[in-house]
Structure 1
Amino acid sequence: MAINSTSNSASTETVLDMSLWSGRTDPEPNSERWHQKIQPLSETAAPGCVLLGFESDAGVARNQGRKGAAQGPKALRKALAPLAWHRTGPAYDAGNVRCDGDALEMAQQALADQLSALLKAEHFPIVLGGGHEMAYGSWQGLAQHLADKGEKAPRIGIINFDAHFDLRDPTHVRSSGTPFAQIADDCAQRGWPFRYACLGVSRAANTLALFNRATQLGVMVREDRDFQPAHLECIQRDLERFMVRCDHIYLTIDLDVLPVGEAPGVSAPAARGVSLALIEPLIETIRDSGKLRLADLAELNPAHDIDNRSARAAARLVFQLALDI
């Protein structure tokens, strides 16, 4: 299933490092963990959940953030390995798409090609990042797959848990801060509707220009301060109404949406953030909608993590996403 790039600047690993999948083994029946069940992806693999890494710091560097997210896929796999196995279907590791140097656009296309192939094979891909520039490659992969199927104007709902809109103008520099503006431009060129929900936005971390652009594009916005236990049911209803108007859902989670105490190892730690306890029920609603086609997790930066908190939080989210899929 691996797709090889002909360029040395963006490549897909074809030899998996399965040594990352290790941990304790219990003697009792029904006590398996992820490291015991996950398999290398093969051409003949039955449909299942596929983990695909995106090793990239290029977009974060262009966005003047702190680098280190290229090591995120490795740290996330190691954190996921010892978690208990509760899936009913198989799970596979497809290796990593690697961005060498500043070859971001080539890496994004390599990611898109790989995801399109996985979706065609009826897998459920979860991309492990890596900077949030991965979002443009993820969306390209889903769009490419749907176009190949002959869908003329699919209603793709993008749900982004993020402290930032990532709607900066991509005209001059494309970075981890521009992927959803790039997607909006692509949708306009294709004649497709642009449906974007950004949940957990920090008003302090986004300029007036970004809020204005979100309004112009009809983005569903819920700020971090809106996320309180008493308001969760209302947010869940709003999310369900958003998904009703969509044919397909692409879920992307920037770990900087979490409070710095829960996720210190990110490019831009959140002063407030939204706790994992409030995000998890919404993730489950999206997962169980029957419309989720693709998910990714961005900005895991092990170089700045403390006690592997960010990696553990990311692994917990992958665990929830993969449950019963």
Structure 2
Amino acid sequence: MNLALFFDSLPDELTAPSAAPTTVAAYATRFAEAFPDWRTADLALIGLDEWRGTAAGAPAAGQHGANCVRQRFYQLQRSTGPLRLVDLGNLRPGLSLEDTYERLREVVGALLEANTIPILLGGGHDLDYGQFLAYEPAHDEPAPAINFAVVDSRPDMALPMPGTPAEDSHLRRLLLHHPNFVFSCAHLGHQQYLTPPDILAAFEKLHFETMSVGELRTDRRLAEPVLRQANFLSFDIAAIRWQDAPGYYPASPFGLSNEDAAQLCWYAGHNEQLTSIGLYGYRPDHDPHGLAAGTLAAMLWYFIEGYYHRKPETGFGTYRFLTYTLVLPGTGKGEPTELIFYKSRRSDTDKWWMEVESLADQSVKRIVPCTHQDYLHAAQGDLPQRWIRTQALLG
């Protein structure tokens, strides 16, 4: 596939040789005249400037959010590890919004086939629908259901009524897409006073995990196993409080801190299962001092740094893991008689997993990320909520 047909090259100021040989700019291959070789890259940055799905419309003319973030990102210092990053430039919007979604499906799908991780930057949050479509299995190709995570100040689950912006209902569209290839969805960072109770009740009924901004601010480590299970992440900058990222509308004085956001991206980068990430919603016309651009640049840096710290976590039940088998009373029909937990033997990590075997069909099982606290709850005879949710999803 000739992806170059879908992209505009970067302006000269973003492709000039770096004056400092240690910066990200000195190592990233950027689209100037020749389109980068995305098939041999580890990561591919894609700028988006599609706003037809938003209520506020496009930012002021001449202000391209992804380019503003790039200006800050390329000035950052490269880490000590490798960096095989290409910048494909800015995706040209389609004739219609639906055309843009389909274009994203094709581009992200091509990168996934090449094992190159797309990093989508800019545009309305509804663009994650195109990111999501890239994971849809072909009609003649069975594929496992996916897990995804969304970070936003509210779940965008509005009914798609006439006049409703796509950004307000895109999550509903993902979850109702046919054919359904979603196993689980996790929503992180919602604010209680912005979220209708019936939406949270619907997520609970669907056995999807939610985590409020208060829970994350209390202990952001709670998000690590959730993000470790995701195949892709969709992050709306509106989840970050305005003081730390004044690049969205309407403003909110509450939300995640920039440190929280960077930590979540670090967790996502570490996840071997995660194959794409989207950072959406940045409006440069609301960011006169470039603070939000700096926050997003740091989030990109931490995601990429996390990616290059990935270590294979395979071979459950072998010498690579400590195995803990807990015997439970199992008095009820829907209760197991034992639970199996795995802990990595690596000294630099505290990662736990839990084996969930379907009570309806013992041949169906999943090993899901969990926390040490889940193990402690089970050791006291209580079934962890994560086990209950996964069991319900296995059916």
Matched residue, 2:188: 199
CA shift in 2, pair 1:65/1:207, >3 Å: farther
In 1, Cα distance between equivalents of 2:126 and 2:48: 10
CA shift in 2, pair 1:83/1:22, >3 Å: farther
Q: 1:294 aligns with which of 270, 276, 281?
A: 276
Equivalent runs, 1:14-29 vs 2, <5 Å: 14-17=8-11, 19-22=13-16, 25-26=19-20
Q: Are the equivalent residues in 2 in contact too, given 1:21–1:78 (CA < 8 A)?
A: no
Q: Are the equivalent residues in 1 in contact too, given 2:248–2:286 (CA < 8 A)?
A: yes
Segment of structure 1 superposing worse, 310-319 or 273-282: 273-282
1:181 aligns with 2:169: no
Segment of structure 1 superposing worse, 68-77 or 266-275: 68-77
Instruction: Work out the percentage of aligned pairs sharing the same amino acid.
Output: 19
Which of 1 and 2 has greater Rg? 2
In 1, Cα distance between equivalents of 2:201 and 2:71: 40
1:76 aligns with 2:69: yes
Segment of structure 1 superposing worse, 77-86 or 123-132: 77-86
Matched residue, 2:123: 130
RCO comparison, higher one (Cα < 8 Å, 6+): 1
1:258 aligns with 2:258: no
CA shift in 2, pair 1:22/1:300, >3 Å: farther
Q: Cα deviations across residues 168-205 of structure 1 (Å, max 9, x unaligned)?
A: 2236446111221111111xx22423421111101222
Hey, which of these two has a bigger chunk of helix by percent?
1
Q: Cα deviations across residues 253-285 of structure 1 (Å, max 9, x unaligned)?
A: 111111110111113322210112223333322
Structure 1 counterpart of 2:171, one-letter code: F
How far residue 294 of structure 1 moved from its aligned partner, in angstroms, is: 0.3
Equivalent runs, 1:203-242 vs 2, <5 Å: 203-229=192-218, 231-233=219-221, 235-236=222-223, 239-240=224-225, 242=226
How far residue 232 of structure 1 moved from its aligned partner, in angstroms, is: 2.9
In 2, Cα distance between equivalents of 1:200 and 1:21: 35
Unaligned runs of 5+ in 2: 309-395
Q: Are the equivalent residues in 2 in contact too, given 1:54–1:111 (CA < 8 A)?
A: no
CA shift in 2, pair 1:110/1:191, >3 Å: closer
Q: Cα deviations across residues 48-89 of structure 1 (Å, max 9, x unaligned)?
A: 2100112111111xxx23642982212111121101112513
How far residue 149 of structure 1 moved from its aligned partner, in angstroms, is: 9.4
Q: 2:25 aligns with which of 19, 35, 43?
A: 35
Q: 1:106 aligns with which of 85, 99, 111?
A: 99
CA shift in 2, pair 1:215/1:289, >3 Å: same
SS in structure 1 at match of 2:275:
strand
Give the TM-score normalised by structure 1.
0.82
In 2, Cα distance between equivalents of 1:100 and 1:147: 23
Unaligned runs of 5+ in 1: 6-11
Matched residue, 1:9: none
How far residue 293 of structure 1 moved from its aligned partner, in angstroms, is: 0.4
Q: Are the equivalent residues in 2 in contact too, given 1:260–1:270 (CA < 8 A)?
A: yes
Structure 1 counterpart of 2:240, one-letter code: L
In 2, Cα distance between equivalents of 1:17 and 1:151: 42
How far residue 16 of structure 1 moved from its aligned partner, in angstroms, is: 3.7
Q: 1:306 aligns with which of 285, 288, 298?
A: 288
Q: Cα deviations across residues 120-156 of structure 1 (Å, max 9, x unaligned)?
A: 122111001111011101111233xx5489343x232
Q: Cα deviations across residues 208-256 of structure 1 (Å, max 9, x unaligned)?
A: 3433433343331111122334x333x14xx41x467x5x510111111
RMSD of the TM alignment (CA)?
2.7
Segment of structure 1 superposing worse, 206-215 or 313-322: 206-215
